[in-house]
A and B are shown apart, each in its own frame.
Chain A
């Protein structure tokens, strides 16, 4: 099992003066689902593009299946399937031809390609759309077809760049199910997303990126436990009312932070706050919930808007 299939050392990507990826390192093991989380512009997609040989590495090293991407990108691409962020299906071809023409790029013999395309259409529930043109497909179907296309060469590694962005909940859950099935079959998956739920659902391990750097790394549940704890109180009131409350919690050793008109109180090990303080909280507008990956993410990447 745990053989590293993708290894990055001091990986850097620059576009002119803009540094998109700044000296990051990570190692992805065979058969795992590894996530890259981060706000827009954090460097996730740039990292993906370097992995699948779409964009040259500026500095540092990147190995995929023991091959340097810098020198052997064509071989690397042979063992990889890519689900890009932008929908790149061929609108001039039918559903089935999208798969068959793509299979040719990988030199899959045409008989084998036909069988595999049928299997994949079945697996992704697109059999009835076989002959349809791409414009007739819904967003979820297009996404599923892109995944089918990425699997046509039986890849060892599947790259998923925001696979469910813009889809409705039903379509997202159906894609997650398919991806979980794929993982069982041993495919290594590399996923970028800004949906925390998606990352929690799918990823064995993940990194959180912000401003071209990796800020945190770990298993989703461990990250939640270590960085924010088990529960969160969200208390909404005016800034003036919240600030003294925050100080009180902090002097008691609680992790609390204010943002806008909300106070976030993190309960590390499940010990509830003292009665007196809790009574104060309960007199205000508050919400008590389990800690999620989103809390980790906002804590690590900051709460400010990225625009």
Chain B
């Protein structure tokens, strides 16, 4: 599992600069345009400026995006186009270990990119307490969860087209409606119920709390929700992928 992780890591170090810029670029744009631009016209929430409100969300959104991209487009390329999985499966490694390695790698990469964003929001003065560093715990568990969801999508994918559905129907709505840009309180119950079922909602809630100070019930509840979901989905993803590959 760690050997597969190392392979992906080694490739990443080769393309480090370009992926670094890509990681950094988008969230900075959101922060500037929406946080500071649109934010000037938005009333404050619970004493937070709008930029302060979305900063923790941007950190966990980058986990979602990085992990999802890595285990859909990138893993699919390694699996179906480059035959990397096949090559590795001829060695003493099993398909199961390969898939676990992929999940672990995507989660690591996602954590790394979330820390880059953390650095950016800190540089803009949006981190007020050292407790905020603990957001990395959420990022790690959330990284495993989104990496596994991506692998699950890849296990069903017959071509890259499928991932367009995955992103437009699943990832993008989550990005917009998980309390990222506006609080979920006061919305109709059914909207709230749908949002509750979405992993990003919990990551955003936990991150937002820890950005304000010591962890409280929201932080621990969101960690627990994400942890259980990560365990279930990664189990299903590994199984489904093994079924596809080992025939």
Interface residues of A (CB under 8 A from B): 15, 52, 54-56, 73-75, 77-78, 80, 82, 84, 86-93, 97, 101-102, 104-107, 149, 153
- Contact of A56 with B246 in the complex, beta carbons under 8 Å: yes
Note all chain B residues with C-beta closer than 8 A to A86: 83, 86
Which of A87, A88, A89, A107 counts the most B-chain CB atoms under 10 A from its CB?
A88
Note all chain B residues with C-beta closer than 8 A to A105: 3, 88, 91-93
Q: How far is the CB of B96 from chain A (nearest CB, A)?
A: 11
- CB-based A-B contact count at 8 angstroms: 66
Q: How far is the CB of B22 from chain A (nearest CB, A)?
A: 16
In the bound complex, CA of A63 to CA of B34 (Å) = 64
- Contact of B92 with A88 in the complex, beta carbons under 8 Å: no
The residue that A104 contacts in the complex, of B6, B84, B89, with Cβ under 8 A, is B6
Q: How far is the CB of B83 from chain A (nearest CB, A)?
A: 4
Note all chain B residues with C-beta closer than 8 A to A149: 87
Q: How far is the CB of B106 from chain A (nearest CB, A)?
A: 15
Q: Does B40 contact A (CB under 8 A)?
A: no
Can you list 24 A-B contacts with CB-CB less than 8 angstroms, sorted by A residue number? Answer: A15-B247, A54-B86, A54-B246, A55-B247, A56-B246, A74-B92, A75-B92, A77-B91, A86-B83, A88-B83, A88-B87, A90-B11, A90-B87, A92-B11, A92-B82, A93-B7, A93-B11, A97-B10, A104-B7, A105-B92, A105-B93, A107-B92, A149-B87, A153-B91
- Contact of A101 with B87 in the complex, beta carbons under 8 Å: no
The residue that A102 contacts in the complex, of B11, B83, B91, with Cβ under 8 A, is B91
Nearest A residue to B4 via CB reads A105
Note all chain B residues with C-beta closer than 8 A to A56: 246-247
Nearest B residue to A107 via CB reads B92
The residue that A90 contacts in the complex, of B15, B82, B93, B247, with Cβ under 8 A, is B82
Find residues 15-55 in chain B having any chain A CB closer than 8 Å to their own CB: 15
In the bound complex, CA of A88 to CA of B3 (Å) = 17
In the bound complex, CA of A102 to CA of B7 (Å) = 9
Q: How large is the interface on B (under 10, 10 to 19, 20 to 34, 35 or more residues)?
A: 20 to 34
The residue that A101 contacts in the complex, of B6, B86, B90, with Cβ under 8 A, is B6
The verdict on A101 contacting B82 (CB below 8 Å), with A55-B247, A74-B94, A77-B91 known, is: no
Note all chain B residues with C-beta closer than 8 A to A54: 86, 89-90, 246
The verdict on A90 contacting B7 (CB below 8 Å), with A54-B86, A55-B247 known, is: yes
Note all chain B residues with C-beta closer than 8 A to A84: 83, 86-87, 90
Note all chain B residues with C-beta closer than 8 A to A90: 7, 11, 82, 84, 87
Note all chain B residues with C-beta closer than 8 A to A153: 91
Nearest B residue to A55 via CB reads B247
In the bound complex, CA of A74 to CA of B90 (Å) = 9
Find residues 157-211 in chain B having any chain A CB closer than 8 Å to their own CB: none
Note all chain B residues with C-beta closer than 8 A to A101: 6-7, 10
Note all chain A residues with C-beta closer than 8 A to B14: 92-93
In the bound complex, CA of A15 to CA of B246 (Å) = 12
In the bound complex, CA of A133 to CA of B240 (Å) = 33
Nearest A residue to B94 via CB reads A74
In the bound complex, CA of A106 to CA of B87 (Å) = 12
Q: How far is the CB of A142 from chain B (nearest CB, A)?
A: 12
Nearest B residue to A97 via CB reads B10
- Contact of B90 with A82 in the complex, beta carbons under 8 Å: yes
Q: How far is the CB of B137 from chain A (nearest CB, A)?
A: 30
The verdict on A88 contacting B86 (CB below 8 Å), with A77-B92, A105-B91 known, is: yes
The verdict on A106 contacting B83 (CB below 8 Å), with A92-B14, A97-B10, A101-B7 known, is: no
Nearest A residue to B82 via CB reads A91
In the bound complex, CA of A102 to CA of B91 (Å) = 8
- Contact of A52 with B90 in the complex, beta carbons under 8 Å: yes
4 shortest interchain CB distances as A-B pairs? A105-B91, A88-B87, A88-B83, A82-B90
- Contact of B83 with A87 in the complex, beta carbons under 8 Å: yes
In the bound complex, CA of A149 to CA of B93 (Å) = 15
The residue that A89 contacts in the complex, of B87, B91, B94, with Cβ under 8 A, is B87
Nearest A residue to B11 via CB reads A92
Sample of 16 more A-B contacts, CB < 8 Å, known A84-B83, A93-B7, A105-B3: A52-B90, A54-B86, A75-B92, A77-B90, A82-B90, A84-B86, A86-B86, A88-B82, A88-B83, A88-B84, A90-B7, A90-B87, A92-B15, A93-B10, A104-B3, A149-B87
Nearest A residue to B98 via CB reads A105
Nearest B residue to A54 via CB reads B89
Note all chain B residues with C-beta closer than 8 A to A93: 7, 10-11, 14
Note all chain A residues with C-beta closer than 8 A to B86: 54, 84, 86, 88
Q: How far is the CB of B17 from chain A (nearest CB, A)?
A: 15
The residue that A78 contacts in the complex, of B82, B89, B92, B94, with Cβ under 8 A, is B92
Which of A84, A105, A153 counts the most B-chain CB atoms under 10 A from its CB?
A105
In the bound complex, CA of A262 to CA of B15 (Å) = 59
